[in-house]
C-alpha cells in the first residue's frame, strides 16, 4: 500500500512532507482511527471556496444564482467521484474488511469523500496555494464550461480499449517538468503493448498531461479524431 501512496503522489503532482497526513486522508472510518472524516469537512469547505473563486474569475458576467448553480455542478459527489476515479485514488484507500469486500474502493461516496480529504491534507501539509493549484488542475475543464457533461475521460477510454483487446494496461511516465513552482508544465509519456513507441502529452498538471498523452494514443489507434 505504501507503494500505491507513492504512485498516487506522482499522479496528484504533489509530494507530502507529512506522509501520516496522506495516510489519514486515505483512511476510511471503517478502517479505524485516525480516519479522514474531519479532513472531509475541511476539504469540502476548501473546494467550495476555491471553485467559487475560480468561477468568479472565469465568468465575470454570471449572476450570483448562475455562479451557485455552476459550483453545484462541479462540487457534488458524482463529479468529485469521477475526478477521484481519474486520479486512481481508489487503489490507495484504506478500508475495513467489510467495505473492501463490498466494493468500497469504487463506491461514489467513498471516492468523493476521500478526494475532499486529500484537498484538506494538501492544505494542511503546505498552504492555500498548492491546494489551489491542485483544485485548478482537476476542475479546469468544468470551470471553463460547467454546464458541459463530462464524457468518459481519455485515460479511461484507453484503459477500457486495452482491457477489451486483452492487452496490458497503459503505463504513464513523467519525462519532464518545467517552469516556476506556481506555473509548472508537465510532460508525460504514455506506452501501450500495441506500439513500441509511446505518445507524449503536456499539461499544467500531471493529470492533464496524462490525459493529453492518452488522447494522442487514442488518435494513433484511430479511436478518436
How many Å is the Cα radius of gyration of the chain?
18
Q: Grid coordinates representing 179?
A: 517552469
Please report the beta strands in the chain, taking only residues with DSSP state E, as ranges in sequence order: 171-178, 185-192, 195-203
CA–CA separation, 128 and 156 (whole Å): 30
Residue 197 backbone dihedrals phi, psi, to 5 degrees: -90, 140
Residue 158: exposure state from Cβ atoms within 10 A (0-12, 13-18, ≥19): buried
Neighbour count for residue 76 (Cβ, 10 Å): 12
Catalytic residue at 125?
Answer: no
Q: Is 44 noted as a catalytic residue in this protein? A: yes
Catalytic residue among 44, 153, 210, 212: 44
Look at residue 49 and give its three-state secondary structure.
helix
Give the active site residue among 40, 113, 116, 212.
116
Which of 79-82's residues contact partners 24+ apart within 8 Å by CB, and which partners? 79/142, 79/150, 80/47, 80/111, 80/112, 80/115, 80/116, 81/108, 81/109, 81/111, 81/112, 81/115, 82/150
Report the alpha-carbon distance of residue 200 to residue 188 in Å, rounded.
6
**Residues acting as catalytic residues:** 44, 116
Amino acid at each position: 500500500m505504501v507503494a500505491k501512496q507513492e504512485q498516487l503522489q506522482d499522479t496528484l503532482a504533489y509530494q507530502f512532507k507529512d506522509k501520516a497526513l496522506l495516510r489519514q486522508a486515505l483512511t476510511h472510518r471503517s478502517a479505524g482511527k485516525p480516519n479522514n472524516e474531519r479532513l472531509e469537512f475541511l476539504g469540502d469547505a476548501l473546494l467550495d471556496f476555491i471553485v467559487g473563486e475560480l468561477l468568479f474569475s472565469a465568468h465575470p458576467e454570471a449572476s450570483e444564482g448562475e455562479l451557485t448553480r455552476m459550483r453545484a455542478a462541479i462540487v457534488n459527489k458524482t463529479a468529485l467521484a469521477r475526478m477521484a476515479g481519474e486520479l486512481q485514488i481508489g487503489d490507495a484507500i484504506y478500508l475495513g474488511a467489510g467495505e473492501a469486500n463490498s466494493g468500497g474502493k469504487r463506491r461514489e461516496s467513498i471516492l468523493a469523500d476521500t478526494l475532499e480529504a486529500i484537498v484538506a491534507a494538501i492544505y494542511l501539509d503546505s498552504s492555500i496555494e498548492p491546494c489551489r493549484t491542485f483544485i485548478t488542475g482537476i476542475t479546469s475543464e468544468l470551470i471553463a464550461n460547467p454546464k458541459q457533461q463530462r464524457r468518459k475521460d481519455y485515460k479511461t477510454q484507453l484503459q477500457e480499449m486495452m482491457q477489451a483487446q486483452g492487452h496490458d494496461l497503459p503505463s504513464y511516465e513523467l519525462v519532464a517538468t518545467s517552469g516556476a513552482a506556481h506555473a509548472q508544465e508537465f510532460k508525460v509519456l504514455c506506452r501501450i503493448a500495441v506500439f513500441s513507441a509511446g505518445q507524449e502529452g503536456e499539461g499544467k498538471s500531471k493529470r492533464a498531461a496524462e490525459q493529453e498523452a492518452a488522447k494522442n494514443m487514442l488518435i494513433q489507434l484511430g479511436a478518436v479524431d
